[in-house]
Amino acid sequence: MITKEERAQIFADASLGAGNVIHRIKAYGRPLDEPVLWTDGTWQAPDGGHPTVLTLGELHEVVETYAGWYHARGVRPRDPVAIQTYSSTEFAINFLALTSLGAIPSFVNGNLRPEIAREYVRRQGAVGAITDQAHHAVLATDLDLGFCVTAADIRSENREPLPATYPYAHHATDPIIISHSSGTTGMPKAVPHTHETLLYAQLHRLKLSVGSAMGRLLVALPGSHNASISVMLFGFLLRSPVLLLSSQRGADVLDGMEEFRPTTVFAFAGTYGEMAAHDLSARDLASVEAWYNTGDAAHEAHIKALIAQGSHLTVGKDLKRHRVPGSVFTDGLGSSETGYSLFHNGHRPGRASFERCVGKPMSFAEAAVLSEDGRPLPPGEIGRIGVRSPTLTPGYWNDSLTFHRLRLGGYWLTGDLGYRDEDGNFYHLDRAPDAIRTAAGVVFSTRTEELLLRELPDLDDCTVVAVAPEGVRADWDGDGLADAYVLLQVRAGSESLDAEWTARINRVLQEGGLPSLTGALRMDASDVVKGATGKVLKREMRERFRARVAAGEFGGAPE
């Protein structure tokens, strides 16, 4: 990791930002033969190989080859270029090459449906596209692009000259990436970030103490998400080895951990939930010191399973640092728009604050729980979570209307519902579209799932969904009523019938002071519908579940 002198060099560099990290660290005199980026072998390099590690010098060679190719095809500063692939490394390489020209990579998650991906790219005004083989036909169809190629078309032997202005000199407000939201409500929102906003929080963290836990980083975030790029750039600045995984499946991440031996893992809550469902005692996770979660807050049951692994350093009563069993889980609440998790809450064995607590906002950010007319609410009252932050996106690409509709009282609305306590800690209850108005009261699906997973250890996971009459809206913004059901992923060996599960579920909810549900039904993990970024698509699960209810798959609770 970096020295104090190198840290001071970074802070003195007024030109440093998310668009030029590899060029600035080269200018600092970092060794070109130093390995910096590990891959999962999913990307084809210009020499035809599939490297698993790149030195700083090799990374620069590859980036220059890509940048020369793009420049020869007429790509100029502020031109959007679409990237769609399953490879996290391929997203990263294209990001580095395009920003080196001042152009704007527009990331398209490989899991988007073809018709949505095409419409999304069309709205960006992209001048061209690069894809993997699996997606070439998607973006080569019905779009007026200047080029649509794969990595196989960019060859070392055909290296093109770079522009005289290479690398591009960014202003703080220059856009350097467009990534998209999870698309859980339909068409994903296009979220740009600038030279300043995408790296602001990481530079802030660098001013604080960064210990051994950041020594070796495994990134299991979707490669198309700006958080993946942000963490990679942070690793480069820290001189910490970085591994980019293209899969967010729990089993694949565990495999990657055993091979790469990371000290810290970065992922979304869905991945951590899948990991926690495995027998972690059968895995060698001794290297891990810390876990970082962003996006949706994670569940207590999953966090507890993970922090039982590995070890971490702490200061003892003798004021000396000691390594103790168990790791640290930093739970965050953030989004593509916020550029970083603006709330952090740390959990470690024996010291934890759960109940959906996401902690206090970062020191550079502000947050409030807002009423429907934008007034900050007092502690204990439920409302919409709003934030202000220098990391916030400047607006949705080509869609100012949608962005400004999500502003209220001078805050940007995250789409989450919550409350704060007297000490200024924030608590996350649900996404506004996922809250369910029922005859028994408002069911906050995420809070309900949290309680059930905590109190019923034979559950691996669960999902609460609404079933409303046709044409009735029963979410937080609706005024109708729906039935709330829970879909259960039950551990092997449980023989309970669905009706018995319904009774067990409602006993737990009654004891916890939460509204009861209409019924419970077991399901396989494969039944869970997830979006492009791995989030559960409760909107689609509601529609699928409606048919199962109509078919009479639910019975009442036993007498």
**Residue 328, phi then psi, degrees to nearest 5:** -110, 130
pLDDT > 80? residue 137: yes
Residue 405 shares a structural domain with residue 455: no
Do 403 and 442 have their domain in common? Answer: no
Report yes or no on 225 lying in a domain. Answer: yes
Domain boundary among 393, 411, 430: 430
| 343 and 409 share one domain | yes
Q: How far apart are CA 50 and CA 41, in angstroms?
A: 5
- The dihedrals phi and psi of 182, each to the nearest 5 degrees, come to -70, -20
Tally the domains of the chain. Answer: 3
- In this structure, the answer to whether residues 295 and 157 fall within a common structural domain is no
Query: Per-residue pLDDT averaged across 253-277, rounded?
Result: 96
**pLDDT number for residue 141:** 87
**pLDDT tier for residue 373 given thresholds of 50, 70 and 90:** very high
**Residue 381 maps to which CATH number?**
3.40.50.12780
* pLDDT surpasses 60 at 557: no
Answer whether residue 232 is part of any domain.
Answer: yes
Q: 334: pLDDT confidence band, cut at 50, 70 and 90?
A: confident
**Sheet of strand 519-522: strand arrangement:** 459-467, 483-490, 519-522
**What average pLDDT does this structure show over 25-52?**
97
Find the DSSP H helices in 73-111.
Answer: 88-100
Domain boundary among 193, 220, 236: 193
β-pairing, 411-420 vs 426-431, is antiparallel
Residue 13: is its pLDDT beyond 80?
yes
CA torsion sign for 52, 180, 247, 452 is positive
Residue 236 · residue 203 · CB < 8 Å? no
426 and 439 housed in the same domain: no
- The mean pLDDT of 376-395, rounded to a whole number, is 97
Give yes or no: residues 145 and 248 share one domain.
Answer: no
Q: 277-329 pLDDT, tens per residue?
A: 899 999 999 999 999 998 888 888 899 999 999 999 888 888 888 899 999 99
SS (H, E, C) 111-155: CCCHHHHHHHHHHHCCCEEEECHHHHHHHCCCCCCCCEEEHHHCC
Q: How far apart are CA 261 and CA 302, in angstroms?
A: 21
Residue 183: its pLDDT value, please? 66
Which residues make Cβ contacts (< 8 Å) with residue 531, sequence separation at least 6? 111, 182, 183, 184, 537
Return the higher-pLDDT residue of 461 and 327.
327
Measure the CA–CA gap between 58 and 445, rounded to whole angstroms.
48
The radius of gyration computed from the CA coordinates of the chain, to the nearest angstrom, equals 24
Side-chain half-sphere of 142: how many Cα atoms within 13 Å? 11
Higher pLDDT, 340 or 32: 32
Instruction: Give the mean model confidence (pLDDT) for residues 156-169.
Output: 95
The pLDDT of 247-258, averaged and rounded, is 97
DSSP run (H or E) holding 414: strand 411-420
Residues 386, 413 contacting (CB under 8 angstroms): yes
**CA 505 – CA 508 distance, rounded (Å):** 5
Q: Which residue bears the tokens 């947050």?
A: 367
Whether 62 and 75 share a structural domain = yes
Q: Residue 235: pLDDT above 60? A: yes
Per DSSP, what are the bridge partners of residue 91?
none
Query: What is the overall mean pLDDT for the chain?
Result: 91
**Residue 343 and residue 87: Cα distance in Å, rounded?**
29
pLDDT score recorded for residue 295: 82
Query: Largest Cα–Cα distance in the chain?
Result: 80
Residue 48 lies in a domain: no
The arithmetic mean of pLDDT across residues 117-140, rounded, is 96
Q: What is the pLDDT of residue 248?
A: 95
Half-sphere exposure (Cβ direction) of 196: Cα atoms closer than 13 Å: 11
| Digit-coded pLDDT (tens) for 469-512 | 888 999 999 999 999 999 888 887 666 667 789 999 999 999 99
Q: Which of 193, 224, 239 is the last residue of a domain?
A: 193
- Same domain for 246 and 379, yes or no, is yes
In a domain, 51, yes or no: no
Q: What is the amino acid identity at position 409?
A: G
403 with 386, same domain?
Answer: yes
Which CATH number fits the domain that encloses residue 78? Answer: 3.40.50.980
Q: In this structure, what is the dihedral angle of CA atoms 109, 544, 333, 514, given to the nearest 10 degrees?
A: 180
Residue 556 has pLDDT above 80, yes or no: no
Which domain covers residue 423, as residue numbers?
A: 199-430
d(CA 266, CA 244): 10
Within this chain, do residues 464 and 524 fall inside the same structural domain, yes or no? yes
Q: Which amino acid appears at position 264 of this protein? A: T
Residue 346 belongs to some domain of the structure: yes
**Do 450 and 470 fall within a single domain?**
yes
Q: Which pLDDT band holds residue 558 (cuts at 50, 70, 90)?
A: very low
**Do residues 329 and 293 make contact, with C-beta atoms less than 8 angstroms apart?**
yes
Query: Is 557 among the domain residues?
Result: no
pLDDT band at 332 (very low <50, low <70, confident <90, very high): confident
Pairing of strands 190-194, 217-219: unpaired
Would 311 be classed as within a structural domain? yes
Q: Please report the beta strands in 307-363, taking only residues with DSSP state E, as ranges in sequence order.
A: 311-315, 321-325, 328-333, 343-347, 357-361
Whether the Cβ atoms of residue 538 and residue 184 lie closer than 8 Å to each other = yes
| pLDDT-derived band at 559, boundaries 50, 70, 90 | very low
Judgement on whether residues 180 and 164 belong to the same structural domain of the protein: yes
Residue 503 sits in a domain whose CATH number is 3.30.300.30
Q: Which of 53-62, 193-202, 338-347 has the lowest mean pLDDT?
A: 338-347
The pLDDT score that the predictor gives to residue 124 is: 93
Report the percent of the chain where pLDDT is more than 90.
75
Residue 422 lies in a domain: yes
